[in-house]
Chain A
Amino acid sequence: MFEYCADPSTLSGFDWWSCYLTTGKHFSFYQSFGTVLTLLALTVPLILVFGFAGALARRSRVLPVRWFGLGYTSMVRGVPDIIFFLFALIALDQGIEYLRHLVLCPDWTEPIRQGNDFRVCPQAKMPLGSSPQWVHEVYGFGLATVGFAIVFGAFAANTIFGALEAVPRAQLETGAAFGMTPRQIFWRIHLPQMWVYALPGLSNLWMILIKATPLLFLLGVEDIVYWARELGGSKTTRFAYPHGDWRLGYFIGLLVFYLALTWVSERVFERLTRRVSRGQASLGGAVT
């Protein structure tokens, strides 16, 4: 980074630190904070989509759709989320490869499950074996995003379902009395009023989501935990910047990052709650 960093072995004190903290690997580490924030930014809309789909499915008049919604929303309560991540990721991966296999190689005769192996034709591999490293990384990250969205979508569906139920009936009946169509009632009355009931649950879910992001590491994405372990591990004198086992220090850094993220989120949700309860005939609404 700096010119005087050319020969690290001659450095000490502040110079050493300024060089140590600006190595290429450290920049990858700093970028991985962006990876985590990107994951959060990408999953939230997806989670809301899955959540609404699940909640609406549970309210559907069609019985099989309702069962599906009920199954989806109740699955997360009984089973640890990490198991869902591990399962959903491999299942998605294999499912995509299997579908591509069916389309791309119709004349492939060998069975796909050969004993302990899962074999599809080379053209159906996702991503292709010949594609560059970054494609593999982006694909893995995309799969993880979808996995997060499926699992947390189920939590969100529970919350949104409860919030939709909690909107006072009289409000909807008033809409009907004005001659609104069911669609108008949903969009103009039901949905806007739902948020005040959904917000406590959704803010709780956001906190859980933040705290689930280190699981990315378990799913094989090079996230902050990966880099903290990589950089913190003891380095012998063969390395440019030798040091002992500093993993504890790096992890305390991560701890501070998460504490800051939680603290900021709490402040934001406080303001949001005040915003959505404006004009509501409740304790919170009456205050403002």
Chain B
Amino acid sequence: MSCAETIWDYGLRAIGIGERLLPKADITLCEQIVLIGSGMVWNLYFAVLALFLGFFLAIAVALARASENGWARVPAQAFIFVIRGSPLFIQFFIAYESFVLIPKLGVDINLGFVEITAETRWLTKAWLGALIVLFLNTSAYSAQIFYGALMSVPKGDIEAAEAIGMSPFRRFRRVIFPSMLRLAWASYTNEAIFLFHATSLVFFSSFPAWRQKGDALYYANYFADKTFNPFVPYPIIAVYFVVFTVLLIAVFGLVNRRLNRHLKHQR
């Protein structure tokens, strides 16, 4: 089988398009590269969506954490402490176990709500359940970063904005928020890298890979088990991750330049 055929068969295998059976015997280098690459689709899906949605929740939590109102501050503090203080791995387990239990409870409590029980079943699938866990995880870590940045916004800037008569909302929107992002961006880039790497835990921990549709590590591990030779699939997946990490750093670097466009470029 030529490599072009392999790409046709397995290029989108991770999302269920193409050949149903995974290669079992006489595994070629091409098959490993193509199949592990198709699994990267999942890693990118989780990373992009969790980071995008998490960004907004993180800002909300950071603002709540900085709030003087205890009803907002204490829950935000608790949320950040619990998520940052426990392993993502355990969070995946707990989420999966509770998602599995939800439909059972729903049936026990009220038999009438067919719609709710039908929807909760999706939670046990990786595409939604794992996304929620990653979303909450990155929100807590980023919220801590944004909170730290919020605390170090120069006081003079805020006083100046007050002095020229900006309304509180306008002050936040034009002065505090941009400063906060600028200060947080370097750490936030690190967090994004960590989250991207954490996506490789999804199918490896508790969420089952339905019909062998898994992420890159799922396939890399599959090949390592089948060929008993770790020296091919793991370097392949490592190269994929390095390439996408460099890409991610480049994208965040562009945003950073945009955030700092008022400064002279230092070379």
Question: B-contacting residues of A (Cβ < 8 Å)?
Answer: 77-83, 86-87, 90-91, 94, 113, 116-118, 210-215, 217-218, 225, 245, 247-248, 251-252, 254-255, 258-259, 262-263
Contacts and interface: CB of A to CB of B under 8 A. Distances in A.
A87 B236 CA distance: 11
A215 B201 CA distance: 10
B113 interface: no
B86 A211 contact: yes
Given A80-B197, A83-B200, A251 B90 contact: yes
Interface string B75-100: 00000011011111110011001101
Contacts of B25: 116
**Which 3 pairs across A and B sit closest by C-beta, in order of nearness?**
A80-B197, A78-B242, A262-B85
Contacts of B241: 78-80, 83
B62 to A, nearest CB: 19
A215 B81 contact: no
A211 B221 contact: no
Contacts, number: 98
The secondary structure that dominates the A interface is helix
A245 B101 contact: yes
Interface residues of B, number: 40
B193 interface: yes
Given A77-B193, A81-B197, A113-B229, A87 B87 contact: no
B172 interface: no
A121 B110 CA distance: 63
Contacts of B93: 225, 247, 251
B226 interface: yes
A226 B90 CA distance: 12
A215 B205 CA distance: 9
17 contacts: A79-B238, A79-B245, A82-B204, A82-B217, A83-B237, A86-B230, A86-B234, A87-B238, A91-B230, A247-B97, A251-B97, A255-B86, A258-B85, A258-B87, A258-B90, A259-B86, A262-B84
Contacts of A217: 89
A82 B87 CA distance: 13
A255 B90 contact: yes
Contacts of B197: 79-81
Contacts of B180: none
A9 B88 CA distance: 38
A80 B39 CA distance: 15
Contacts of A215: 89
Contacts of A254: 90
